[in-house]
Structures are given as C-alpha cells and as structure tokens.
C-alpha cells in the first residue's frame, strides 16, 4: 500500500456526463472525480482514456496523467482508441474467430447505466453495459451481457469486467485490459514482479521462455505474454516504476509509479512497439513509443469457460505510488 496522497483543493466526488465533438462526430462519456484523481471514460469501448492526479505535489503537477493516449488516436468511432485502457473481448489478439484483432468490445458503443459517489470513501464509480446483437452473433455466436464498472477511490483506479452467459450453450473467451501507461521516457521505465515467470515471446515465433530479470527494462521492441499461476497472482503485485524521478534532487524521495493487482486475470502482457512498429501504425506517432508501455492484465493462457446462466468477473486495481519506500526495491 502506498502512502495516502494529499487532497486537492476540491474535495467533492462526482460523476459528470459529457459530450464532445470532434470533426462533427459526437463522443459521449463520463468524468469521475474525487479529492485526489480524475478519470475520463468514453461510452465508445467503455474506454478509460485518462486517469490523472489533482494533487498539488510537484511530482504530479509536472505530469498529472498516468495513462497514455496517442496524439494521433482516432476519436470518430471508426476504430479503437489508441491508448488508455481498451477492453479486449471475446478474444485477445487473433486468438478467436472475430475479424477484428482483440474482438469487438473496444469497437462498440456501450450504455452508461449508473453511477455512485461516496464522499466518506472518496469514491466515484460508473457502470457501462454491452449486450450481444445480431452483429456480434455473427462473430461470437452466443448471447451475452457485459458489465464494466470503473471506480476511483482515493489513489486507486479499479476496473471490473463481468461477463454473463445469457445463452443456452456454454462459451469460452480470452480477454485483457490493455492498459497503456504513460512514461516521461521509456528507458527510465521498469516493470517488476515477473521474475521467474514463464512467458511466450511473440517476437520469437512464440518461443517459450522464463523471465530471469528482477526488472524488465526497455531498449528494443518487447511483446510478451506472461503466464502467472494463481498463487503468484494472489501473493504478488506488478509494479510499473518511472525511475526518471529518482535523480531530481528534492524529488529523489518521490519515485513515481503504479502498482497493479488483479483478480481472475492471471496473465500479463508487456508490450512496447519500439521504432519500426511505431512507424507502421497510422494512429500512433513515430516517436511515441518513448512515452508509453503496455502492461495488460489478461486471461489468455487458459480461455475462460462460462456455463449458461453463469457469470465471470475479472478485475484490475491500479494504485498510484509516489514514494520509493512503497516499491519492493
């Protein structure tokens, strides 16, 4: 657990709907706020597009945003938003029958169905839902309902995906919360918590490997699927540490990062496109690989099976941490 973060000048918790227009296209969503953080969620894809600090601390004022969204992200509903937290369902990558990589959930407009605010808990919460349609049935031939709840409570961002089987047949799926974390410089980013974990290297034709480093650092393209066991997930958390803050004099005690814990999302994907792949993506800047890293909570190795009438819940909690003492270094 990190140290409590100072409150901002405003203490009101809220969930405020909004509508934004870009190039004639309307984008709706909600903004969650509490005493310490603000979170923007679009109805398109139920997409968390921003999680930013409201604190007056210099380490936050310099760069309040924790997530990354490309300056070239397309916000007209024609394709998924590049950055933030896209929802991969009912498949991760091309591990399924869907035409679109990562499935259709991130390409669909979800319905905003409710919110909750609690001043005492410093909590603001919003829930979105997506149900099967004739269009989704062509690619994923089952009736389903998805509930996605996003909440900010103090310095925590929680995203919870519930998958309900409304069909007469059992179905299975793979999924991920494809989180893009922002970075001042990718060479200063370290990912901890995966030492000794088996992974598949997607850049080496699916080669099976075991992570041998305490920290994953970045000086080239990385695309790996780590397969953590349940016992490890329950015991360990992943840490995304921005070490650029360690050598800034007065800020030396304010190393900044995010700690990630999960439930029922036992796998972890670590990805940075680096130079060549960045140039190949039309909705991603050529130099933006320096500003992000994806660490994705996922269920990939063993597809999730849901019986008729049953449900499954996968959950990710991110904690903003600013003191080096609260990282396992």
Catalytic residues: 178, 296
Contact (Cβ atoms closer than 8 angstroms) between residue 298 and residue 92: yes
Contact (Cβ atoms closer than 8 angstroms) between residue 265 and residue 299: yes
**Rounded distance between C-alpha atoms, residue 73 and residue 71, angstroms:** 6
User: Any binding-site annotation on 101?
Assistant: yes
Residue 176 structure tokens: 């991920």
User: Any binding-site annotation on 22?
Assistant: no
The three-state (H, E, C) secondary structure of 217-284, written as one string: CCCCCEEEEEECCHHHHHHCCEEEEEHHHHHCHHHCCCCEEEEEEEECCCEEEEEECHHHHHHHCCCC
**Rounded distance between C-alpha atoms, residue 271 and residue 294, angstroms:** 5
User: Any binding-site annotation on 198?
Assistant: no
**Rounded distance between C-alpha atoms, residue 285 and residue 273, angstroms:** 11
Cβ-count burial 113-143 (b if 16+ within 10 Å, e if not): eebebeeeebbbbbbbbbebeeebeeebebb
For tokens 């034709």, name the residue.
205
Residue 290 zone, left/alpha/beta (φ > 0; ψ -120 to 50; rest): alpha
Cα-based torsion angle of the residue sequence 270, 140, 265, 210 in order, rounded to the nearest 10 degrees: -40
Binding residues for substrate: 82, 101, 106
């Amino acid at each position: 657990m990190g140290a409590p973060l100072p409150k901002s000048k405003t203490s009101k918790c809220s969930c405020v709907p909004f509508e934004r227009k870009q190039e004639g296209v309307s984008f709706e969503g909600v903004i969650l706020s509490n005493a310490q953080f603000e979170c923007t969620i679009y109805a398109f894809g139920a997409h968390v597009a921003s999680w930013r600090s409201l604190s007056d601390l210099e380490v936050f004022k310099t760069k309040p945003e924790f997530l990354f969204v490309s300056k070239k992200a397309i916000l007209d509903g024609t394709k998924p938003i590049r950055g933030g937290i896209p929802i991969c369902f009912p498949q991760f990558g091309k591990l399924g029958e869907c035409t679109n990589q990562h499935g259709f959930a991130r390409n669909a407009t979800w319905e905003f169905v409710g919110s909750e605010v609690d001043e005492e808990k410093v909590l603001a919460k919003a829930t979105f839902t997506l149900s099967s349609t004739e269009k989704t049935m062509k690619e994923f031939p089952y009736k389903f309902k998805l509930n996605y709840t996003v909440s900010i409570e103090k310095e925590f961002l929680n995203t919870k995906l519930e998958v309900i089987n409304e069909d007469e047949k059992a179905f299975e799926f793979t999924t991920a919360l494809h989180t893009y974390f922002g970075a001042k410089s990718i060479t200063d980013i370290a990912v901890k918590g995966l030492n000794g974990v088996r992974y598949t290297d997607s850049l080496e034709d699916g080669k099976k490997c075991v992570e041998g480093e305490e920290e994953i650092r970045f000086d080239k393209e990385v695309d790996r699927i780590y397969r953590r066991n349940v016992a490890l997930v329950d015991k360990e958390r992943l840490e995304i540490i921005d070490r650029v803050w360690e050598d800034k004099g007065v800020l030396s005690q304010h190393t900044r990062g995010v700690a990630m814990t999960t439930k029922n999302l036992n796998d972890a994907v670590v990805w940075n496109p680096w130079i060549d792949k960045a140039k190949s993506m039309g909705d991603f800047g050529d130099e933006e690989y320096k500003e992000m890293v994806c660490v994705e909570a996922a269920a990939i190795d063993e597809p999730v099976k849901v019986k008729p009438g049953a449900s499954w819940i996968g959950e990710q909690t991110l904690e903003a941490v600013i003191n080096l003492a609260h990282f396992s270094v």
